[in-house]
Amino acid sequence: MLESLGSLISSPWIYAVVALSVLLDVFLPLLPSGVLVVTAATAAAAGTTTATVAGATEQVPREVPSLLVLALCAATASVLGDLVAYRLARNGGARFDRAIARSRRLTTAQARLGTALSRGGGVLVVIARFAPAGRSVVSLGAGAARRKTREFLPWSALAGVIWAGYSVGLGYFGGQWLGASWFGAGVSVLALFGAGGLAAYVMRRPSQRARTAEPPAMATACD
């Protein structure tokens, strides 16, 4: 993995590519921004790369990404992407509101997020940052619900920092313990996906409990 991406990872352009990928994946959740951050951090754990010189395999020193700069780029791009999506939804007008209303997922997220933010409990924003497409749903939902920027932005910043730190940490420690190889990077990426699956499960649970509890409540009302 690191050999195939070596020219990019060893270049300062890696920071721009990471930032752009993280910035845009709020609109294009299929972009592998997390995988890219983990891979770059795995390269940073290596410090050297394996190369063949005159028929012999040697460890050749090579420029690797700075963990701190990598984390800052990822976190900053995450917050900026959230803010752009939030602003687009907030200023989208009636047409955007109708589009939100046609999506059950966005409507549910909008209602839950509005309640959470009004109570000062924006942990949902942090959890959603790890869930597949959760960042998009929450950012658009907060904007469509016309939540105040000061209610949403601090939680978005916290989510971006935690996500970036977790992703960089996975790549770095995976590379340290398992080696800067396909195996080490793959295990780290699987751990990232595992966190995403857990976050998605946590986000779904309250709505499932609400649907389960709805029939008895209706029956009581009828009685």
Cα separations in angstroms, 143 against 23, 112, 125, 146, 148: 17, 13, 13, 5, 8
- The pLDDT mean for the chain works out to 74
**Which stretch of DSSP H or E encloses residue 49?**
strand 48-53
Assess whether pLDDT exceeds 70 at residue 222. Answer: no
Over the stretch 15-50, which tens digit does the pLDDT of each residue have?
A: 999 999 999 988 887 778 888 898 888 887 776 444
pLDDT at 192: 86
Identity of the amino acid at 66: S
Over the stretch 178-201, which tens digit does the pLDDT of each residue have?
A: 766 666 667 878 888 888 888 878
Over the stretch 170-183, which tens digit does the pLDDT of each residue have?
A: 888 887 777 666 66
Over the stretch 79-120, which tens digit does the pLDDT of each residue have?
A: 999 999 999 888 876 666 676 666 666 666 656 665 656 555
Beta-strand pair 48-53/56-61: antiparallel
pLDDT at 110: 59
pLDDT at 186: 73
Assess whether pLDDT exceeds 50 at residue 162. Answer: yes
3-state helix, strand, coil in the chain (%, to 5): 75, 5, 20
Cα separations in angstroms, 157 against 75, 147, 186, 212: 8, 16, 28, 34
Q: How far apart are CA 127 and CA 123, in angstroms?
A: 6
Residues 6+ apart with CB under 8 A from 158: 122, 125, 126
Assess whether pLDDT exceeds 50 at residue 217. Answer: no
**Which stretch of DSSP H or E encloses residue 60?**
strand 56-61
Are the CB atoms for 45 and 62 separated by under 8 Å? no
Between 65 and 118, the more confident residue is 65
Assess whether pLDDT exceeds 60 at residue 62. Answer: no
pLDDT band for position 2 (cuts 50, 70, 90): very low
Q: How far apart are CA 170 and CA 71, in angstroms?
A: 12
- pLDDT mean over 152-166: 93
pLDDT at 137: 81
Answer left, alpha or beta for residue 31, where phi above 0 means left and psi between -120 and 50 means alpha.
Answer: beta
Percent of the chain at pLDDT exceeding 70: 61
Q: How far apart are CA 177 and CA 185, in angstroms?
A: 11
